[in-house]
Structure 1
């Protein structure tokens, strides 16, 4: 029963991670943020691998899933530092998130709760095929929305890492006990019996 509870809890956390990653992927696509899109895609693949490993009792897949979660926590910590402009990080460097292919940033910048977007006409600051806007009245600034999203990902990843290590340990212990009991002990294995070979001699009869 304990094993089932651990597996079910891990599958539940993986499903929550999958839903959160898909939600984040949608908004990153709308904001043309290619670096987060790539990271989200790898995360979705890793979560699916974790679900498969949990259901199929594959401890190696769970280990790979756990290793990825460590990288995922680091990536989301970087996202938090980026939007809060910690150290030398600055949101003016668009190439970090968009690979320098567009001027878009977070989708929530223009579509946050309560935000009022006003276009600035005839602005000399706008590059070709782009326009300048002003955003005001937001109930929550976009950077804090991104920070909350990344913090949620870190929270789910930490719990997923703990349960992945626990369930993987249980699987390894079960594999060791199965090898000990299942096929190579004195009761489960019988050595082939040696059969004596009789050499036949011709019979001679006197006439």
Structure 2
């Protein structure tokens, strides 16, 4: 299989997925979004496995990556539904933080054009943690749409990866079958002469 084949395209797509997953992981860490952090972690591991399988001609690893790509698409569809409040989901819930904290998407306060203002606590009220009331104004794009764009990009790249992984697995298996067939023919011819 030459380098201008689906194999090289799959290597490129896996590399792109790693870059996108690492970028997403950083922002999920900044927002203390524990469920996406875990999902991104598994995604990074399985994309590396798919990348290794593609480079080393290991179809089983690529099949694992292919199954994960389908699950990754489903996860990102869930994230889109979560941020768009579809089907009883609410972006204001603590679902993505496992109800451990009240954190939310980092983009909600730091999106493009957002001006963040903190209002200190009322005087005379002191606690161990000084919480401030935060207002955010002037955002060019609401944070939920930034999250939807992130997930949409992940879905697009994962679907392309899925298609190319299926193609590469079939090409590698076909190549192995033709080599076995040729080897069988040569062995059979050699024994009869």
Do the aligned partners of 2:108 and 2:143 also contact (CA within 8 Å) in 1?
Answer: yes
The alpha carbon displacement at 1:100 in A equals 1.4
Residue 28 of structure 2 is aligned to residue 33 of structure 1: no
For each residue in 1:40-73, what CA deviation from the matched residue of structure 2 results, as whole angstroms up to 9, or x when unmatched?
A: 0111111111111111111111111000000000
The alpha carbon displacement at 1:120 in A equals 2.9
Counterpart of 2:146 in structure 1 is 145
Residue 142 of structure 2 is aligned to residue 116 of structure 1: no
Task: Supply the distance in 2 between the matched residues of 1:4 and 1:135 (Cα, whole angstroms).
Answer: 48
TM-score under structure 1 length normalisation: 0.84
Residue 186 of structure 2 is aligned to residue 173 of structure 1: no
Task: Supply the distance in 2 between the matched residues of 1:62 and 1:97 (Cα, whole angstroms).
Answer: 29
Do the aligned partners of 2:83 and 2:144 also contact (CA within 8 Å) in 1?
Answer: yes
Counterpart of 2:73 in structure 1 is 73
Residue 60 of structure 2 is aligned to residue 60 of structure 1: yes
CA RMSD of aligned residues (A): 2.2
Q: Secondary structure at the match of 1:87?
A: coil
Counterpart of 1:135 in structure 2 is 136
Task: Supply the distance in 2 between the matched residues of 1:45 and 1:115 (Cα, whole angstroms).
Answer: 34
Do the aligned partners of 1:116 and 1:138 also contact (CA within 8 Å) in 2?
Answer: yes
Distance 1:21 1:43, change over 3 A: same
Long gaps (5+) in structure 2: none
Counterpart of 2:88 in structure 1 is 88
Task: Supply the distance in 1 between the matched residues of 2:42 and 2:188 (Cα, whole angstroms).
Answer: 47
Larger Rg: 1
The alpha carbon displacement at 1:19 in A equals 0.5
Counterpart of 1:205 in structure 2 is none
Do the aligned partners of 1:183 and 1:189 also contact (CA within 8 Å) in 2?
Answer: no
Long gaps (5+) in structure 1: 192-207
If each structure's helix is expressed as a fraction of its own residues, which one has the higher value?
A: 2
